Amino acid sequence: MSASEVRRTYSDSIAGYITSYDPSNDRFGLRTTDGREFTIHLDGLLGSEIVRNLGDKDRRDTSGSTRDMLAEGRYVFVYGLFHQWAGGERIDARQIVFAEQRRGAYVFEQPNWWVQQAAEIADFYLRGHFPDGVYDWRGFRTRLTLHGSHVADHQAQDLRQETDTISRLVYGLATAFMLTGEERFLAAAESGTEYLREHMRVSDEREGVAYWYHAIDITPGAQRKVFASEFGDDYNAIPMYEQIYALAGPTQTYRITGDPRILDDIDKTVALFHKYFKDEERGGFFSHIDPITMDPRADSLGHNRARKNWNSVGDHAPAYLINAYLATGREDFGELLELTADTIARYFPDEPGSPFVQERFHEDWSPDRTWGWQQNRAVVGHNLKIAWNLTRIRALKDKAEYSTLAERIAEIMPPVGSDQQRGGWYDVVERVADPDSGAHRLVWHDRKAWWQQEQSILAYLILAGVTGDPEHRRLAREAAAFYNAFFLDYDDGGVYFNVLANGIPYLLGTERLKGSHSMAGYHALELCYLAATYTNLLLTSQQLTLHFRPRPDAFPDRVLRVSPDLLPAGSIQIDQVTVNDQPYHDFDAKALTVNLPESDEPLRVKVVVEPADMRLRINSEFDGETAHIHLEGILDLQELENFQRGLREALSVNPRRVEFHLCKVTDISRPVINELLFQRTKIGADVDFVIVGSVEPEIASMLVATDAFVLDMDRACTDE
């Protein structure tokens, strides 16, 4: 065969770290995450940009300065033309996406990145389902188009309201309120919770249990309750995961409001799990029960008879149980978390048979490798979800086997579950490697789903924060970079369901939708909430603000528990609390609890939490003319970026005078003083930079030596 017969040209993407730039030949070196080296060629047909967030007004085009940004060590995505021939390859870049504003400064590690994204996603769903601004859930439809509108009602299948879809959206809206304090999100979450309770819930007082309908069908004159599931894999059964996810939204709403009726629903649904789904003899929970007899061993269940799976065991923790524990501190919820984690650690690992966990079982815990679509296949995201949730539960129940398994999964997943060339994580793969290639073959396609990216980001973020392992942080950054670069829909809003391997959105069939049986804002907003939590509190030493709205009858003993997640004991604390916009001091900073005052109306509670070992606090206020910048801690090179960010925010209001309150600063470095000098020059000669209050003598000496600041040390520092 001649060389011309094996030539081919195609477009594709590649992601990695810049190793060098050769300006004389207009090319740069790129190392992929698995260590392979490539040469990327540039020419005049090149564009570039920095990853932007939902809600950013303008595209962050850097085409004119692309070559100046090709610094060694920067992580980039390259889309271009791949030319291959016998014995050679050339990659011509056409578009480059930078994940960093500058080397090491990843855009999604800005303290407000995920908060802004959460607000934009939540608003997308509000506009789609409630275009008139009235949160009447009778008009909710399970399916939502790519553009954020309901599918026409004449398509009969769109008249169905699925319980889990509503609950997942309620979770997302409640979560958006916790991050932003925006009233519209809470109003929609509370009305959605009430709608679920009124239309989808059955409370059996005699049995002491509650259960949830699969759906209701809306007709012009009536509603039809759909008791058993009519989703394909679970047809005519009551699957445990549907009952689990029915609690997701109400439980998150309970964290905010403390509505005792919701807690009663949680307790009665958990009672249902123990009464009908739990295997008291062999442990764990059955995946399905018969809707008539409530028997998990009924012949009518077919391939779901006497089965257990990942969803029936593992989904408790993230969907409702961790949040129920965080809101109540109750030991029975903690014990159930421990039970699920113990079960996973005991039965799910499958090495050396497979690097992936076993996900489906018979009732005696023997593997079920012939079930339906799954056969002997692995869902990549479920492995990462286990690593993430075992790390969370380890903070509550200190068992070494949890972290051992979590870190083992994190170690072995990248080469078998991620795309080592383009970035991102795959969907379903064969659990056993192909004997010829040695690879775990992709099952249906090479697309990447939004929720599987979420699991990878959260797994590696929390592991990086807990262990301090730089490899975990590198993988978290790569996953977050891929998600933010390719899943955000800047045109219509929200996030895409799936993208192709190269990051281009896949927009066919149900994967074109942004509302469906599988998608309703839950994973995207859970990601925003917990990525903000782990990034700010465990990795970048930033504060996190949370919002609550406790009712007059909320929470036993009027104790509001505000821990954002299960984090290592003693790692975070409360910095400040306001109630109805006034400073409030009746709280236990270390216990992360607020003793609520008596009230006849719901209270507006805002809580700022921070790392217990926070090195630098910076906040500012503006009185119409003067910007007051309050600093506490260490101002050194490590905190330079945080200082720069806070300073830019304070100066963005164009003050006539800037006062720096440094009485609680214990050390300051030359780069920080240089930044002050730089900004002093930029802001103009008519604006004074004033150092207020008593300052450490060494710091005062360094500032005086610049001859660039007004020193007003006779005034009392407002932080003294």
Model pLDDT for residues 570-629, shown as the tens digit of each residue? 999 999 999 999 999 999 999 999 999 999 999 999 999 999 998 898 888 999 899 999
Instruction: Considering the chain, tell me which residue range(s) the CATH 1.50.10.10 domain(s) occupy.
Output: 112-539
- Is the pLDDT reported for residue 369 higher than 90? yes
The CA-based diameter of the chain, rounded to the nearest angstrom, is 87
Look at residue 714 in the predicted model and tell me its pLDDT: 72
Report yes or no: 607 and 574 within 8 Å, Cβ to Cβ.
yes
> With contact defined as beta carbons under 8 Å apart, do 409 and 384 qualify?
yes
157 pLDDT higher than 90:
no
What pLDDT is recorded for position 271?
A: 98
- CB-based burial label for 648 (10 Å; 0-12, 13-18, 19+): exposed
Of 276, 384, 399, residue with least CA distance to 346: 399
- Counting Cβ atoms within 10 Å, is residue 338 exposed (0-12), middle (13-18) or buried (19+)? middle
Residues 6+ apart with CB under 8 A from 517: 142, 162, 164, 165, 231, 510
Q: Is the distance from CB of 543 to CB of 617 less than 8 angstroms?
A: yes
Tally of CB atoms within 10 A around 605: 23
What pLDDT sits at residue 2? 56
pLDDT above 50 (res 720): no
Selection from 408, 322, 315 nearest residue 359 by Cα: 315
| Amino acid 316: pLDDT | 98
Query: Strand 75-85 and strand 605-611: pairing?
Result: unpaired
Residues sharing a CB contact under 8 Å with residue 509, sequence separation 6 or more, in sequence order: none
Inter-residue contact 409 to 417 (CB < 8 Å) = no
User: Which phi and psi (to 5°) does residue 499 adopt?
Assistant: -125, 160
pLDDT in tens, 45-66: 899 999 999 999 889 999 999 9
The DSSP secondary-structure symbol of 511 reads G
493 and 143 Cβ atoms separated by less than 8 Å = no
Q: Which residue has the higher pLDDT, 681 or 282?
A: 282
Beta pairing, strands 37-41 & 88-98: parallel
Q: 354-358, 402-406, 716-720: lowest mean pLDDT where?
A: 716-720
CA dihedral 363, 369, 373, 374 (to 10 degrees): 90
Q: What whole-number distance in Å separates Cα of residue 493 and Cα of residue 382?
A: 27
Task: Identify the CA nearest to 450 among candidates 535, 521, 524.
Answer: 524
Query: What mean pLDDT value characterizes the chain?
Result: 94
Digit-coded pLDDT (tens) for 71-106 = 999 999 999 999 999 889 999 999 999 999 988 899
Strands 47-50 and 88-98: parallel
Interior CA angle at 464 toward 461 and 465, to 5°?
Answer: 85
3-state secondary structure at position 716:
coil
Range(s) within the chain of domains with CATH label 3.30.750.24: 616-712
Angle between the 400-417 and 450-467 helix axes, to the nearest 10 degrees? 130
pLDDT-based confidence at residue 498 (cuts at 50, 70, 90): very high
> pLDDT at position 257, please?
98
Q: What angle do CA 708, 714, 716 make, to 5 degrees?
A: 105
Q: Which CATH class is domain 112-539?
A: mainly alpha
Average pLDDT over residues 435-452: 96
> pLDDT at residue 719 above 70?
no
Q: What's the mean pLDDT in 131-146?
A: 94
Per-residue pLDDT reduced to its tens digit, 541-553: 999 999 999 999 9
pLDDT tens for 204-226 read 999 999 999 999 998 877 889 99
Asked whether residue 535 carries a pLDDT value surpassing 60, the answer given is: yes
Q: Which of 286, 315, 436, 442 is nearest to 377 (CA)?
A: 442
Q: What pLDDT does residue 693 have?
A: 81
pTM: 0.95
DSSP secondary structure, 664-701, as one string: EEEEE-HHHHHHHHHHHHHH-TTSEEEEES---HHHHH
The residue ranges of DSSP E strands in 158-200, in sequence order, are 160-162
Beta strand pairing status for 307-309 and 360-362?
antiparallel
Superfamily of domain 8-103: Nucleic acid-binding proteins (2.40.50.140)
Contact 279, 215 (CB under 8 A): no
Check whether 268 has a pLDDT greater than 80.
Answer: yes
pLDDT of residue 4: 55
Kindly indicate the confidence band of residue 718, based on its pLDDT and cuts at 50, 70 and 90.
low
Distances (CA, A) of 319 to 133, 256, 346: 28, 16, 21
- Give CA separation, 376 vs 345, 433, 712, in Å: 20, 11, 72
| Contacts (Cβ under 8 Å, ≥6 apart) of 339 | 283
682: its two tokens: 């930029």
pLDDT single digits (tens) 38-47? 999 998 889 9
Nearest to residue 188, comparing CAs of 124, 145, 245, 114?
124
pLDDT of residue 158: 54
**What's residue 708's pLDDT?**
80
Residue 281 DSSP class: T
Looking at residue 1, its pLDDT comes to 46
* 518 DSSP assignment: S
* 3-state secondary structure at position 125: helix
Band the pLDDT of 448: cuts 50, 70, 90. Answer: very high
CA distances from 709 to 93, 562, 634, 677 (A): 48, 41, 20, 9
Collect contacts of 708-716 with beta carbons under 8 A, ≥24 apart: 708/676, 708/677, 708/680, 709/676, 709/680, 712/659
- pLDDT for 680 equals 86
Per DSSP, the chain holds a count of helices (H) and strands (E) of 18, 32
For a pLDDT cut of 90, what percent of the chain falls above it? 83
Quick one: what percent of the chain has pLDDT higher than 70?
Answer: 98
Residue from 301, 506, 469 nearest 387 by CA: 469
| Mean pLDDT, range 377-406, rounded to an integer | 98
Decide if pLDDT at 377 tops 90: yes
Q: How confident is the model at residue 460 (pLDDT cuts 50, 70, 90)?
A: very high
pLDDT higher than 90, residue 123? yes
* Mean pLDDT confidence for 445-457: 97
pLDDT for the residue numbered 44: 81
- CATH no., domain 616-712: 3.30.750.24
Whether 155 has a pLDDT exceeding 70, the answer reads no
CB 575 within 8 A of CB 607: no
